[in-house]
């Protein structure tokens, strides 16, 4: 029922399982991850969380969109930001346009309120990537990005950032230093160990707070049926 397809689909709304099937086993997995996150830093809650992967098509966007829905379903006010300019995906899960967004805010073309869109999920707003700039790394590295995240964390309980792959681009390492915590998504039986290690090493060099890893598209056999599930692991150095 739920798998990460290699072929890029224009409409990913059917993969928003936590919204479409809130009582499913997959949705329960996300609730477990949500609970784990709440216990990780009880005295100083993690306000901003970045999700990345080692390479493309490992399910990081699918994961962060579903986790954001689960957080919103728990009553938290959530902003989901798509910072993966080279391969924007978030808008496809929520059937939103991607005409303006984060990049337009960073370049001063739009104001914060103008690039935030309400989703069909209560308590969940979305900021897509918007215009494709020639210099995405420079925008992500800017002081303006710091101010965007600061404003977002003041207005929302949780700010979730979908970042580019950490082993391939410097964007993720730069962003990792600006958020409270980082989750790395890996795809079962697909992610290469050496590439994953490179991603982790890159994040460590950026002094990222890696709070956990997620094994995506892990099939388990129960009562004659196959389903895909997320397994969450707290990160240990």
Rounded distance, CA 118 to CA 65, Å?
A: 14
**pLDDT value at residue 7:** 53
Q: Which domain holds residue 106?
A: 13-234
Q: What is the model's pTM? A: 0.88
Tokens linked to 222: 């129960």
**pLDDT value at residue 8:** 59
Whether residue 8 lies inside any domain: the answer is no
Whether the predicted pLDDT of 186 surpasses 60: yes
Whether the predicted pLDDT of 223 surpasses 70: no
Q: Which residues of 53-77 are buried (b: 16+ CB within 10 A; e: fewer)?
A: bbbebbbbbbbbbbbbbbbbbeebe
**pLDDT value at residue 139:** 95
Whether residue 49 lies inside any domain: the answer is yes
Contact 193, 187 (CB under 8 A): no
Whether the predicted pLDDT of 24 surpasses 50: yes
**pLDDT value at residue 174:** 96
Query: What does pLDDT average to over the chain?
Result: 87
Whether residue 174 lies inside any domain: the answer is yes
Whether the predicted pLDDT of 32 surpasses 80: yes
Whether residue 1 lies inside any domain: the answer is no
Whether residue 144 lies inside any domain: the answer is yes
Tens-place pLDDT, residues 47-96: 999 999 988 888 999 999 999 999 999 999 999 999 998 899 999 999 99
As a whole number, mean pLDDT of residues 166-174 equals 90
CATH number at residue 132: 3.40.50.300
Give the number of domains in the chain: 1
Residue 234 banded pLDDT, cuts 50, 70, 90: very low
Tens-place pLDDT, residues 87-144: 999 999 999 999 999 999 999 999 999 999 999 999 999 999 999 888 899 999 999 9
Which residues lie closer than 8 Å to 212 by C-beta, 6 or more apart?
36, 40, 183, 184, 232, 233, 234, 235
Q: Which of 29, 38, 37 minimizes the C-alpha distance to 59?
A: 29
């Amino acid at each position: 029922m739920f798998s990460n397809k290699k072929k890029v689909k224009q409409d990913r709304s059917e993969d928003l399982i936590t919204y479409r099937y809130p009582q499913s086993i997959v949705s329960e997995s996300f609730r477990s991850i949500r609970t784990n996150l709440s216990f990780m830093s009880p005295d100083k809650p993690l306000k901003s969380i970045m999700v990345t992967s080692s390479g493309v098509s490992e399910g990081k966007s699918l994961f962060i969109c579903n986790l954001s829905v689960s957080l919103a379903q728990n009553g938290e006010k959530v902003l989901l930001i798509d910072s993966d300019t080279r391969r924007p995906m978030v808008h496809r899960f929520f059937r939103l346009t991607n005409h303006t967004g984060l990049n337009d805010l960073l370049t001063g073309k739009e104001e914060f309120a103008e690039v935030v869109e309400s989703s069909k999920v209560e308590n969940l707003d979305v900021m897509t990537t918007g215009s494709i700039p020639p210099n995405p790394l420079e925008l992500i590295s800017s002081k303006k990005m710091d101010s965007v995240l600061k404003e977002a964390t003041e207005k929302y309980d949780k700010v979730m950032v979908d970042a580019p792959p950490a082993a391939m681009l410097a964007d993720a390492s730069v962003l990792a230093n600006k958020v409270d915590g980082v989750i790395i998504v890996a795809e079962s039986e697909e992610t290469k160990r050496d590439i994953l290690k490179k991603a982790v090493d890159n994040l460590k060099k950026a002094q990222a707070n890696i709070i956990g890893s997620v094994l995506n598209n892990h099939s388990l056999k129960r009562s004659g049926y196959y389903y895909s599930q997320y397994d969450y692991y707290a990160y240990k150095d």
